[in-house]
Amino acid sequence: MPYLDSKFIVMPLGLSCQSAQQIDMNAGNIAHHLGSVEFEVTSTYFDWLITPSQALSGLLSDNLPHPLSESEISLSLGAPMFEPYGALFYHEMHLPDGRYEKTEESFEQLVSKFRYLSDKTRRLIETRRPLFVWSNTQNDLENVVPHCRSIDLILDMDTIYRIAEAADGINNGPADYLFVTYEDRSSNVFDEDRFTIVKIEPDESLWQGDNDAWAHALAKAIDKMKSRMKFISDDSGHLV
Q: What is the CATH number of the domain that holds 25?
A: 3.40.50
**pLDDT at site 98:** 62
Q: Peptide bond before 77: cis, by omega within 30 degrees of 0?
A: no
The mean pLDDT value for 6-20 works out to 96
Helix then strand count (H, E) for the chain reads 7, 9
The mean pLDDT value for 14-31 works out to 96
**pLDDT at site 67:** 93
Taking the C-alpha atoms of residue 100 and residue 226, their distance in angstroms, rounded to an integer, is: 42
Is 92 contained in some domain? no
pLDDT exceeds cutoff 50 at 51: yes
Q: How many residues does the chain have?
A: 240
Write the pLDDT tens digit of every residue in 192-240.
Answer: 999 999 999 999 999 999 999 999 999 999 999 998 886 433 333 333 3
**What band does 95 get if pLDDT is binned at 50, 70 and 90?**
low
Is 48 contained in some domain? yes
> How many other CB atoms are found less than 10 A from the CB of residue 206?
11
Nearest to 56 by CA among 119, 134, 125, 131: 134
Residue 88 phi, psi (nearest 5): -105, 120
pTM assigned to the model: 0.92
Q: Decide: helix, strand or coil at residue 18.
A: helix
Is 86 contained in some domain? no
Q: Which residues contact 39 (CB under 8 A, 6 or more apart)?
A: 3, 4, 5, 27, 30, 31
Is 233 contained in some domain? no
Taking the C-alpha atoms of residue 1 and residue 206, their distance in angstroms, rounded to an integer, is: 18
Is 198 contained in some domain? yes
Nearest to 155 by CA among 147, 165, 163: 163
Question: Which structural domain range is residue 134 located in?
Answer: 3-64+128-227
Instruction: Please state the domain count of the chain.
Output: 1
Is 78 contained in some domain? no
**pLDDT at site 192:** 92
Is 164 contained in some domain? yes
Write the pLDDT tens digit of every residue in 126-177.
Answer: 999 999 999 999 999 988 887 887 788 999 999 999 999 999 999 999 999 9
